[in-house]
Amino acid sequence: MRDLGAGFTYLLKGQRWVAAHGKQYGFGLLPGLMTLVLYMAALVGLALWGEDAVTWATPFADNWSSPWPALFRGFLTAVLFALALLLAVLTFTAVTLLIGQPFYENLSEKVDRDVDPNGTAPASGLPLWRELWISARDSLRIVVRALLWGVLLFALGFIPLVGQTVVPVIGFFVTGFFLTEELTAVALQRRGVELRARLTLLRSRKTLVWGFGTPLGLAFLVPFVAVFLMPGAVAGATLLARELLGEETEEGDDDTADDPEPEDVTQRSWR
């Protein structure tokens, strides 16, 4: 329980950090806004044509007596939309981080410099294209794992009582774990920590990870909230990564709130 509270504290610290560093927050909003537009379009399309797709996929129900075809297909449509919403939450972070790689890398480095006793930040030394490739590859692996969990939880959802009570709770904790993995990857990848090692590290402190990621996953279910929380989530995940690695951290100095200037993002992007 103590680690759960500590994880949530890192989430709050990240939001406070970006609130004090206005330029970083502003640039960090752009990738989330672009991703939100893409996801909203997909969900609206599913809402409009999901029932038609379910009807097409269940021709065997045409011969059932009324009202069973409508009830059955209505249930499947609702489940399909709920699953799509869960997958949107699971993948939103991965897609946003991929789109906003230069911005979030810059933000994470600034957090490291701000809280490091020596004022330094680890750097991968890799060109941008290589970092994007590694990020996309690892994100795809995480999405596959998340999809497998989603399918499993979807199947368990048909178990009476348990499927409507226990399974959703498990789903939120699973979502929180994968969200935290994606967010901490920004800082851990710069430190050369590979995906397998990252997962091992996160599993060693699961309650800390759940305390950070589960409330964030719940918040991401609220429309538009994910966009505004993403910059702070990246900042908080950087602080969380330092905790997981046992790195010394001290409070940052808000006098440097608006550094680095926007030009640093451009220079970082083309290094």
What percent of the chain lies above the pLDDT cut of 70? 91
For the ranges 6-10, 74-78, 223-227, the maximum mean pLDDT occurs at 6-10
Give the type of residue at 75: F
211 compared with 64, residue with greater pLDDT: 211
For the ranges 14-23, 84-93, 143-152, 247-256, the maximum mean pLDDT occurs at 14-23
Distance CA 7, CA 211 (A): 4
Q: Which residues of 4-27 are buried (b: 16+ CB within 10 A; e: fewer)?
A: bebbbbbbebbbebbebbebbbeb
Distance CA 138, CA 58 (A): 36
- Average pLDDT of span 71-82: 84
Q: Which run of H or of E encompasses 259? A: none
Which pLDDT belongs to residue 1? 67
Summarize pLDDT for 45-76 with one digit per residue, the tens: 888 888 888 888 888 888 888 888 888 888 88
**In sequence order, which ranges of 100-161 are alpha helices (DSSP H)?**
101-115, 128-156
Q: How far apart are the first and last CA of the chain?
A: 43
Tokens of 249: 């951290």
Q: What is the dihedral of CA 214, 219, 221, 222, to 10 degrees?
A: 170
**Kindly report the CA angle at 117 between 114 and 123, in degrees rounded to 5?**
65
Tokens of 30: 């752009």
Which pLDDT belongs to residue 133? 84
Is it the case that residue 77 has pLDDT exceeding 60? yes
Which pLDDT belongs to residue 263? 40
Answer for the pair 170, 157: CB distance below 8 angstroms, yes or no: no
Summarize pLDDT for 147-199 with one digit per residue, the tens: 788 888 878 877 888 777 888 888 889 989 998 998 999 899 999 899 999 99
Q: Residue 153 CB: number of other CB atoms within 10 A?
A: 18
What percent of the chain lies above the pLDDT cut of 90? 26
